Amino acid sequence: MIDINRRHAMSLALAAVPATWLLRPAPARAQQAFRKFFPFLIDLDGWQGHTPDGMSMEMGNSSMLTATREYRRGPAHLNVGVVMGPAAAGALAVGQSGMNVETSEGHMITSTIDSFTVIRTFSIKEKSGALLVKLGPTAMFNFSYNGLTEDEAMPLAKRFDWKGIQAATQQT
- 150 SS3 class: helix
Q: Is the pLDDT of residue 35 over 50?
A: yes
Query: How many angstroms separate the Cα of 12 from the Cα of each of 62, 99, 137, 151?
Result: 16, 21, 18, 29
For residue 97, being part of any structural domain is answered with: yes
> What is the domain extent for residue 165?
76-172
For residue 99, being part of any structural domain is answered with: yes
Round to whole Å and give the CA distance between 10 and 8. Answer: 5
For residue 143, being part of any structural domain is answered with: yes
* pLDDT per residue as tens digits for the range 95-152: 777 778 999 999 999 999 999 999 999 999 999 999 999 999 999 999 999 999 999 9
**Other beta carbons less than 10 A from residue 79's beta carbon:** 18
For residue 89, being part of any structural domain is answered with: yes
For residue 150, being part of any structural domain is answered with: yes
For residue 70, being part of any structural domain is answered with: no
pLDDT band (50, 70, 90) for residue 94:
confident
Q: How many domains does the chain have?
A: 1
Average pLDDT for residues 52-60, to the nearest whole number? 89
For residue 126, being part of any structural domain is answered with: yes
Could you tell me the pTM of the whole model?
Answer: 0.80
For residue 95, being part of any structural domain is answered with: yes
